Homo-oligomer: A and B are copies of this chain.
Amino acid sequence: MVQYSRDRLDTSFAALSDATRRGVLERLGRADASITDLARQFDMTLTGMKKHVGVLEQVGLITTEKVGRVRTCRLGPRRLEAEVEWMERYRRLWAARFDELDEVVEDLKQREMSDARKQRD
Q: Give chain A's interface secondary structure class.
A: helix
* Least CB separation from A92: chain B residue: B29
Taking a contact as CB atoms under 8 Å apart, the answer to whether B17 and A90 are in contact is no
* Least CB separation from A19: chain B residue: B6
- Copies of this protein in the assembly total 2
* Least CB separation from A90: chain B residue: B25
The answer to whether A22 has its CB under 8 Å from any CB of chain B is yes
The answer to whether A75 has its CB under 8 Å from any CB of chain B is yes
Q: How many residues does chain A have at the interface if contact means C-beta atoms less than 8 Å apart?
A: 34
Given contacts A10-B17, A19-B6, A19-B7, contact A29 B94 (CB under 8 A): yes
Q: Residue-by-residue, is A1-12 near B (CB-CB < 8 Å gives 1, otherwise 0)?
A: 000001101110
CB distance from A12 to the nearest CB of B (A): 8
The answer to whether A30 has its CB under 8 Å from any CB of chain B is yes
Contacts of A11 in B (CB 8 A): 17
The answer to whether A44 has its CB under 8 Å from any CB of chain B is no
* Least CB separation from A11: chain B residue: B17
Contacts of A26 in B (CB 8 A): 89-90, 93
Instruction: Say which residue of B6, B83, B93 sits within 8 Å of A29 (CB atoms).
Output: B93
